[in-house]
Chain A
């Protein structure tokens, strides 16, 4: 009832936003309404998670006359409802204040409630028709918000690429569901679960599901749209797209691969794990070289999706091999990371939105020193940055720890591909985690620390109370999800149990605060105990230092090794910080080259330093593909200028071909 009410209120809010027009209060009320609806859906998700054997079902006479719309909330749906509406609630609360600063808000606000509605419907859908319609609706609603500021050339390009990739995703999912459909075109998920797909069908469904859901989630090399589209939208929508919509995509992948498909061999898991590893490393390598704060965050989303997919692939491999306990562990780890990512990525994007509304810039090159001017934004962004860098005791560390632990169990499988593949993927994951820390030290250090690099940054002021509050709540969640890991894993294991067939307790041997997968002696972690000891040592340190030494402090100009410069441009910039990394990693992968052009002696022109880089995936895959499609389109275009005779001939040839097909089929 609560859920239905909340869902019904969302389209009404959209209508209200249209009617309210350009008034400030209209937008604020719409977002406040979205906040209340998201909280209601969150509460609804919480009541259905765990303890309910019979998941609530609902059949509505919507859509095509002979296909009814089926809805059902099982543990997995309820879990994702929690993740999604948590991020949505925070983003909505943020938007109440933030939408004032948006130039094109009348093009954004009406679609925002519809976007929330569509994402929730995807999670509740219990038949292919409802699922796909909601999925498309979600894509289109977000697309409209991406192109809301269509006066910018790059936003139009982002919108184009996004639309093509979204169409590609659905184009893959449509036949996947078609192949899974039960006898007589029964498109309910129940019918799909019992259907035997056969060898070829199973192969195609798995491939299409990974391509379709993977393109939405941003798996390399299908990620190309993500770092264009996510930053183009207003920040509260970016937060939803990056923090939340990618989770809906992963939900689709889990639902099809682990629930509907039924019989998936371990090969798929191994492959998915490798794709996840490559995605993680490539995503973070792109991220660490970006200058635009929001593009950096979008690439970091690619990385985190890769990390979650490593866990998912591992779970599929374990399950395909019959090791259900380890499968449950890997899946819990993967879901944990998704939940964490939805919290800290929403937080970071909201922080980026706060920076944009305070300074008007999102390029790191012109920021700096924001922590002193925006202490709330700066501190909460720091928590998010530390969490995404997998630093204990925050939440990002717990999920990476769990994924590493389940990877360490990977070689237990009796396949040589896994024995050799798992260490490589573990190295990828470790590299991605370390580079993520570098990436966020760079982003935080350049934007929030040091001296301001422009007058806009120097004159920044802290954002309004509502915006601060939603960031603070998310930052607190980063800490809470990290300090009480066992409570979280217990909740997750409810959702995992029907998928892997094992009731799995991560804290089996040591009890509540100890995370001890497999067994007590196999390595354990307790954020709670670690935090207690850490705080004690921190307090002892401060006490001892102030007791033994002096407390005097003197403020002075920076020393800077004896020759300080007053010009803020002498600080390290985002480009100079990334330079060693560009040399170490970018030289081969991105073909990064630096050239310094020195003027002739006597010439007073300034010397110039130029960096050239290639995007291997864009120039190696998308550009040639685009050229091929363009070439085909050019040639097919001629068919539109045939004579009547020509068209008649073509119809005749088509008819002959069709008859031949029928004849051949009857012979077989």
Chain B
């Protein structure tokens, strides 16, 4: 019964928190740039404003264009519900593991890319093509991270990995460091952050994600934006959960334990969000054709993480 309750809380939490996390990152970046910047709750206002506006759909668009924002948002939301943010005692914990999480994110990407091509403009195709290039390297990199984590902990379920780490079974390992680096690189690419993509740009040469969703407006755009915010929160929560699971409540912990878990989760989230802002401010965007090197590097790091396990075993 509790598992259901915590699951519903998690479902609400990720959606409610996501705009704040995005707004916070923007606010910190603005501060670092020496601007005042909009208040962190600005994304809530933006989303609400977009919802009130009529949606404009091109004549050439099919039903895919109209369905894609909802499918994308729902799939990313579902993926976010799998990550145990404050407690491992949740209904969905055994229904999907990290592989399913990677695949759920792929569902959202598949639909967004199709929607980008649906209207039949040059920009949409450009964005879709680049997004799929990024995905075709980022997705395997994330699966290799999953592989190395499953070798260490013996499971692919995030809740079980958390329990395994919290039980004190894992020391400091080279593999974990490599896996963390690979996951961070994937997270940057999947969320379209600098140096892969710039979420604030509308300059044609540098656009990836924004080019795909150029035709969207009104509530459709709100859904696309919200999906992006939930995805960012998801990756921050995932990194925090897998590599710093301290504070997460285990099954059997009472309401107090869950409260502690919630506090720890919020603290970790905003710490990582600040790190992201600092990182983005201090680095320049890279050329499109360097993506393959960057993400190929992530894939190799993931592979090395698994290989290093045996090396450290043998030494």
Contact = CB atoms under 8 A, between A and B. Distances in A.
Interface string B45-57: 0001011111111
A577 B128 contact: yes
A522 B215 contact: no
B184 interface: no
B189 interface: no
Contact of A371 (B62, B106, B128): B62
A565 to B, nearest CB: 7
B116 to A, nearest CB: 8
A545 B219 contact: yes
B138 to A, nearest CB: 8
Interface string B5-41: 0000001000000000000000000000000000000
B120 A397 contact: no
A521 interface: yes
Contacts of B110: 386, 389, 391, 437, 441
Interface stretch (A404-412, A589-597, A608-616, A645-653): A404-412
B307 A423 contact: yes
Contacts of A514: 94-95
Given A530-B100, A572-B128, A542 B70 contact: yes
Contact of A559 (B95, B99, B214): B214
A435 interface: yes
A570 B144 contact: no
B136 A431 contact: yes
Nearest to A529: B95
Nearest to A373: B62
Interface stretch (B150-158, B242-250, B255-263): B150-158
A552 B132 CA distance: 32
Contacts of B58: 555-559
Contacts of A434: 106, 135-140
Contacts of B147: 407-408, 423, 426
B204 interface: yes
B288 interface: yes
A371 B63 CA distance: 9
Interface string A569-599: 0111000111111011100000000000000
Contacts of A426: 143-144, 147, 306
B119 interface: yes
Interface stretch (B75-83, B232-240, B264-272, B273-281): B75-83
Contacts of B128: 441, 445, 572, 577
Nearest to A371: B62
Given A430-B144, A580-B130, A564 B62 contact: no
A655 interface: no
Given A430-B144, A441-B110, A524 B77 contact: no
A27 interface: no
A433 B139 contact: yes
A529 to B, nearest CB: 4
B117 interface: yes
A199 interface: no
Interface string A399-438: 0010011011001000010011001101100110111011
Interface string A211-222: 000000000000
Given A424-B303, A571-B125, A572-B125, A449 B56 contact: no
Given A435-B136, A523-B155, A565-B122, 18 more contacts: A368-B120, A392-B103, A404-B143, A408-B147, A427-B302, A438-B135, A445-B128, A449-B117, A525-B96, A541-B74, A545-B223, A548-B48, A550-B218, A556-B59, A558-B120, A564-B121, A577-B125, A580-B288
10 contacts: A391-B107, A411-B151, A445-B117, A523-B97, A537-B77, A554-B55, A558-B215, A570-B121, A579-B129, A581-B133
Interface of B: 11, 48, 50-60, 62-64, 70-71, 73-75, 77-78, 81, 92, 94-100, 103-104, 106-107, 109-110, 113-114, 116-126, 128-130, 132-133, 135-140, 143-144, 147, 150-151, 154-157, 160, 202, 204, 214-215, 218-219, 222-223, 288-289, 291-292, 299, 302-303, 306-307, 310
